[in-house]
Amino acid sequence: SIHAGVHLRYVDISSNKLSDLSPLSSLNYLLSLNASHNLLYTLDGLPSRPYMQVLNVEHNSIAQITTLDHPLLRMLNLNHNRLSTLSGLAKLKSLTLLEARNNQLSSTQGIEPSTLKELYLAENKIAQIGNMD
């Protein structure tokens, strides 16, 4: 059982057929999670991780992010999903890299650029760039 690995720091479960991340909910010390190339529709099964710094969920079917609450998250890869908005990122106060290429985004609304150093939004449907102060 993955629950026995509560001290796991780095997990790569990419290129599988996973649709739910809730079995990882006991991994409180997780620093990096690669769940790319799966069948994820939501990130709701991934509760707040106090130490997580890298989250890669590219090439899934995520259409909406309710709230991501990982205070130390620095890198977030959302490329190749079905996102139409980037709401739910407001609690990511340490984020320096946001990748959201090839989604369905129509604006930059929801992006909190105060800590961002790199922002990748190519191949979307963006018609409006919001305030990037």
pLDDT digits (tens, 9 = 90+) for 22-47: 999 899 999 999 999 999 999 988 99
Per-residue pLDDT at 128: 82
104 vs 44 pLDDT, higher one: 104
How far is it, in rounded angstroms, from Cα 73 to Cα 56?
Answer: 11
Chain centroid to CA 48: 12
How far is it, in rounded angstroms, from Cα 88 to Cα 98?
Answer: 13
- Residue 57 CA: distances (Å) to CA of 11, 18, 106: 12, 11, 20
pLDDT digits (tens, 9 = 90+) for 72-96: 999 999 999 999 999 899 999 999 9
